[in-house]
Amino acid sequence: MMYKVYIFDLDGTLLDTLTDLAASTNYALREHGMPEHSVDDVRRFVGNGVRKLMERAVPDGADNPLFDEAFATFRQHYMEHALDTTRPYDGVPEMLATLKSRGCRIAVVSNKMMAATQELCQHFFPDTVEVAIGEHEAEGIRKKPAPDTVYAALSALGVTKDHAVYVGDSDVDIATARHAGLPCISVLWGFRDRDFLLHHGATTLVTIPRELCELT
């Protein structure tokens, strides 16, 4: 078997979270008198954590005097509505079950808030995802594309990076895998398209989830 440990990104890789992220973003903007954005705008804003999402969505970003209030509103709304429309991509639960049946170890590493990451994984993948790590509050644990949370996931699984692979849908994921010293599989059903991923260094791409099982 080529890979025995799979570290997955969450948003755009396992779960289609875009509609709920856009709804919470626009709710926060609306509450603070700021212009809203289309879902496609939000698609371009995601990938570097929710604070960066809001920095991109709020006029003048973090320099806006209302930024902290808008960000707090987003966080509260999203924690209450993260399951409104979010669903696994077609074929993802079956793919994870197949990998687990082969003895593979599975973790999720996300730039999403820790509480939301763990809640979503427990809700949708309680029998397959062993470790779920989001934006880390511990001092010195940097978010992706730094490798820190990937290393934390490997440690929590009790494994080394030998025979491990990172799976994601974005340029941030490609960089994360590179910094962690892992091969990267880029998925084409997520938030970024083939040309974008190739431009940012993707080398292995899959079009549907079951192809991940065929690569093993």
Q: Tell me, what amino acid is at 187? A: V
CA distance 17 to 117: 11
Q: Give whole-number Cα distances, 108 to 6, 15, 32, in Å.
A: 8, 11, 33
Q: Of these residues, 9, 16, 148, 171, which one is catalytic? A: 9
User: How many residues appear in the chain?
Assistant: 216
Quick one: which of 130, 129, 128, 155 has its CA closest to 141?
155
Contact between 53 and 25 (Cβ < 8 Å)? yes
Specify whether 16 is catalytic.
no
Rounded to whole angstroms, the Cα distance separating 208 from 210 reads 6
Residue numbers annotated as active site:
9
